[in-house]
Amino acid sequence: MGALKLFNTTDAVSRSVLHMDLDAFFVSVECLRDRRLSGRPLIIGGRSDRGVVAACSYEARTFGVHSAMPVKLALQLCPDALIISGDMEAYSRFSGMVTEIIRESAPMFEKASIDEFYLDLTGMDRFFGCYQWASELRHRIMKETHLPISMGLSINKLVSKVATGEAKPNGQAQVVKGEERSFLAPLSVRKIPMIGKKTADFLYEMGITRVNTLCEMPVEMLEAALGKNGRILWNRAHGIDNSPVVPYVERKSISTETTFENDTIDVKKLRSVISGMTEKLAFLLRKENKLTACISVKIRYSDFETVSRQSRLSYTSSDRVLIGRALDLFDKLYSKRLMIRLVGVRLSELAYGSYQISLFDDTEEEIRLNDAMDRMRIKYGASVLTRASSIFADPATQHADTQELYKSF
């Protein structure tokens, strides 16, 4: 798609905020890794009946498939779709590549998610045009990563995000100061961030389907109907957004969790799953040259009561230490003896550093074994090797919720 531009040359831009979003990111990475997937309806998500769609290709979206939809329903809408379980390590690696390019170029940026960025370009017009600079950055990202990325430029985060959405797929847009309202007016209210299906249905019942109609509503009426969110909605419809670009700070925790296809009370299996998750997180720590000083374990019972417990420890990335502490936490936490729906492990208080060998607990054999396993995992993937204690009886009875894991670093 070509560039969409709405110009008003008499207005000077006081603030310039760029929004960049990698198009169908997970799918784009998979297509880079296997060109045969290009042009096919793809679904990234769990394969079980309780799996959900994490991402899907534009070809699948034409059938009504969207993220967070149950995979079972998605296949009913698009029976020919190919399901891919996904590779969070690969997605994190490509996200890191884009992040580094932006970090080298932008004066200040915010990483909103694994595939979404805000850049504050305010003041850069004194040296060169913000739109030209942003366009060059976008093309550099595409050239160096081979990933499609769209962008929107305006005076604030809200309008820029909407502009990016209008420019997709693989396009760019600019809305200059003073044209925010005219740009938003003809759009569906669903285009406004924060308006989900429930709020949209409520507005539809009021006869409000377009942003221009929402703008014409008295703010007092919206407040009466929606509370304080009514004024926020009114401001957004008028393109008003003063939220700042928050400088990117690397995350200080990593986590993963597993939702079982069938709720279970099998303690041996539960301990095996926790052991496996902790082992994978420990490998990610070592891969990124990081250590952790706090580990947490979470369980969710069949009645949806969720409890967690954490423990501090000396900075480490040792499988043996972390798995032992995770299992100890689980044993202390699992007290109700009810069926369990979900278990999770979280490592926090991360810091850069390499694992310090313990003179009393580590053996040369264990150290050499761990190093060899890590080299194999780096070369062939994190799942190529696992400890026997992490192998549970029936892999088909569970699936990992990866929404947290890929945001880790």
CATH code for the domain of 133: 3.30.70.270
* Set 89, 100, 104, 116: catalytic member: 116
Does residue 1 fall inside a structural domain?
Answer: no
Most confident of 9-13, 322-326, 380-384, 394-398: 322-326
**What digits encode the pLDDT tens for the residues 242-296?**
999 989 877 678 999 998 989 999 999 999 999 999 999 998 888 877 888 899 9
282/292 Cα distance (integer angstroms):
9
The answer to whether residues 290 and 141 belong to one domain is no
Q: Tell me: do 264 and 361 sit in the same domain.
A: yes
Domain boundary among 176, 198, 229: 176
Residue 305 annotated as catalytic: no
- CATH code of the domain in which 220 resides: 1.10.150.20
Same domain membership, residue 388 and residue 273: yes
Q: Whole domain around residue 297: which residue ranges?
A: 253-407
% of the chain with per-residue pLDDT over 90: 52
Distance in angstroms (rounded) separating the CA atoms of residues 319 and 375: 15
User: 49 and 172 in one domain?
Assistant: yes
pLDDT tens across 204-251, in order? 988 889 999 999 888 898 888 888 888 999 999 999 999 999 898 776
Which strands form 17-22's sheet, in the order they lie side by side?
Answer: 4-6, 172-175, 149-154, 17-22, 116-120, 109-113
Confidence band of 70 (pLDDT split at 50, 70, 90): confident
Which range (25-29, 88-92, 206-210, 350-354) has the least confidence? 350-354
Together in a domain, 22 and 157: yes
Total domains in the fold of the chain: 3
Condensed to tens digits (0 to 9), the pLDDT of residues 101-121 reads 999 999 899 988 889 999 999
